[in-house]
Homo-oligomer: A and B are copies of this chain.
Amino acid sequence: MNTNTRKQPGRPPAGADQTVRRQLLEAARGLFAKQGYDAVSIREVAEAAQVNPAMIHYYFGSKQGLYEAMLTDTFTPLIERLSSVLAAADDPSALRNFFNLYMHTLGANPWMPPLILREVVAEGGRLRGWFIQQFATKGGGMLTRLIEREQTAGRIRADADPSLTALSMVSLAVFPFVAMPVTREVFGMRVKTDYLDRLIAHTERVFLQGVSP
């Protein structure tokens, strides 16, 4: 990918993209997602990005700064896309659309599930508060309201608790991805090209049928 000569000291030409900054963000995302914050040293990140360790402090101030920059850089687009889908939730296929976008996004970005696991779900996750504000209070509340709307429309049985129903939906949609490496071995699943589609179709049906009147 990087066929140019190695970065050399000295002021870069005008209009140059900050490739070093981006290399650091990407290396950090991969390593932090796989090993966790504490287990990764800034020296490792620098080596993976093929830059000098001091560059981390030059661009991000500290290890913590690099980490937080990587997190916002990673999750902001996801949050925005999900929110927009949930916002346009008037049509009857909104639930199905949400399922598809959510699961396809997770499937297409393999580093997302482990990061969400560490930063949102796990105890002491640094993104939990931010995530709850950004997505949950907004998106989660919207998800609950979407389910209530589906209930009044008669597509979801009326005696189901909306919050618990939303939780079931998220469970079905998220867990298969965060647990993918385990479930593969446990249930002997092969990674075929159509696995993701079969998983989504199956999950969608289990949920919709499970909460139908």
Which residues in A have some Cβ–Cβ distance to B below 8 Å? 33-36, 38-39, 114, 117-118, 120-124, 128, 131-132, 136-137, 140-141, 144, 160-161, 163-168, 170-172, 174-176, 178-179, 181-183, 185-189, 198-199, 202-203, 205-212
Contact = CB atoms under 8 A, between A and B. Distances in A.
A199 B205 CA distance: 21
Among A120, A123, A178, max chain B CB count under 10 A is at A123
Contact of A38 (B33, B36, B140): B36
Given A128-B182, A144-B187, A182-B136, A161 B121 contact: no
Contact of A209 (B120, B188, B210): B210
Given A36-B124, A122-B114, A206-B207, A176 B186 contact: no
Nearest to A201: B164
Number of copies: 2
A185 B128 CA distance: 10
Given A123-B114, A172-B168, A176-B171, A136 B185 contact: yes
A122 B123 contact: no
B34 A132 contact: no
Contacts of A132: 182, 185-186
Given A168-B203, A203-B168, A120 B183 contact: no
A93 B179 CA distance: 27
